[in-house]
Structure 1
């Protein structure tokens, strides 16, 4: 998906939290590719990131994900186990809605939840959205956010703000610069991995990054 297509989705998102059906793209086994380390550093400066694990980890792993991506769901299921196994890794979540307008709507709510409730309370929402069966849209994301204590009126106000649009646009721009066009995609230093990665594979590439 090119940047113009992503921009179109963001334009559709500006109207509210109800969108059109999204598209789920089949994933293939990932292969590591070199990326400029400067772009990885730029990605870490994005507004709206969710930082998990060690606050100053020797290894930093970024995951670009979409709430309607099946491999992202598997990654979310492995996340707590990975953080337990690799307590000194900094794991950064990047909302990267590229699978349709419904993904855009869910991402707007998720980012608004982060703004309203704080990054330290984001993980329960992240896991809850990935536990949902079927398409995750704005309305379903709102329901989960409210269950976790968010005020719906304030949540919607933030979700439809320019700040959230700016966060999403910046993430898409940086992702485009990194050559990311599928979810999940992972960045560790100067290496990117596109597509689904199992927990054992993640542990291997983290070990490789640590040795490097």
Structure 2
């Protein structure tokens, strides 16, 4: 068989079977050059082979990333699902936990907000945990500090209302706007603004950032659903499908 005919056959075997071993070192210089030319010519005539190979590579990479993410979830499960500093909503006794790393100034977090709410409410058996993860600047930091302070001083019901208000807030987040928000919700604004700068609040955000670093989370929203790490926004029907898969 000539090298020109051999090249496509070798390439096909390599694509079909990762165990196939082909050693160009066994060739002399002229044979390697001829083989390279033959492979190039074949790929130029059959570019769909490259598309197929890239598709296989991407599938393998996605599978490896999913496996790695599952290990990260298992390794950090206690901090993800059972931190005493997090707000827990939905059904606290639900059969499946959904955790969201969120930033109040994140457009996709705001887009996901209504859909996550619909998912949790319509399902009725999801335990929902919020991780304050401010990464988009000073206004994100102020918002998260305010939310954590509300949870610590006023409790989970007040936090839920503050969370809803912050995620839908359209103006600039400043100390003055937060003071007005607190007053509108019947909270002690001065106490909350003081608490925002205390170590008790700082410690919560610090631990969330450390957890995100261990989990290789760099964007929002990021979800943990059961044993699955979901990076980025997912439409409602997609989340429902993942919930069904996790339960299945």
TM-score normalized by structure 1? 0.79
CA distance in 1 between counterparts of 2:178 and 2:231 reads: 26
Match of 2:140 in 1: 103
Larger radius of gyration: 2
- Out of 139, 154, 158, the residue aligned to residue 121 of structure 1 is 158
- Report the aligned-residue RMSD: 1.8
> The residue matched to 1:192 in structure 2 has which SS?
strand
- Out of 189, 192, 204, the residue aligned to residue 155 of structure 1 is 192
Matched, 1:166 2:203: yes
Paired residues in the alignment total 181
CA distance in 2 between counterparts of 1:135 and 1:203 reads: 33
Report the more deviating stretch, 110-119 or 31-40. Answer: 31-40
CA distance in 1 between counterparts of 2:161 and 2:77 reads: 26
Match of 1:39 in 2: 76
Match of 2:86 in 1: 49
Higher RCO (CA 8 Å, separation ≥ 6 residues) = 1
Q: Which runs of 5+ in 2 are unaligned?
A: 1-61
Cα offset for 1:134? 4.4
Cα offset for 1:47? 4.0
Cα offset for 1:77? 2.0
Cα offset for 1:190? 2.7
Matched, 1:146 2:178: no
Match of 2:214 in 1: 177
Relative to structure 1, the CA distance from residue 136 to residue 198 in structure 2 (aligned partners, 3 Å threshold; closer, same or farther) is farther
CA distance in 1 between counterparts of 2:238 and 2:172 reads: 27
Cα offset for 1:136? 3.6
Cα offset for 1:55? 0.9
Moved over 3 A (4+): 134-139
Q: Which runs of 5+ in 1 are unaligned?
A: 1-30
Report the more deviating stretch, 62-71 or 96-105. Answer: 96-105
Relative to structure 1, the CA distance from residue 109 to residue 200 in structure 2 (aligned partners, 3 Å threshold; closer, same or farther) is same
Cα offset for 1:207? 1.3
Relative to structure 1, the CA distance from residue 199 to residue 145 in structure 2 (aligned partners, 3 Å threshold; closer, same or farther) is farther
Match of 1:20 in 2: none
Cα offset for 1:177? 0.8
Relative to structure 1, the CA distance from residue 139 to residue 77 in structure 2 (aligned partners, 3 Å threshold; closer, same or farther) is farther
TM-score normalized by structure 2? 0.68
Report the more deviating stretch, 140-149 or 178-187. Answer: 140-149
Higher share of residues assigned helix: 2
Relative to structure 1, the CA distance from residue 162 to residue 151 in structure 2 (aligned partners, 3 Å threshold; closer, same or farther) is same
Report the more deviating stretch, 117-126 or 139-148. Answer: 139-148
CA distance in 1 between counterparts of 2:215 and 2:136 reads: 18
Cα offset for 1:198? 1.4
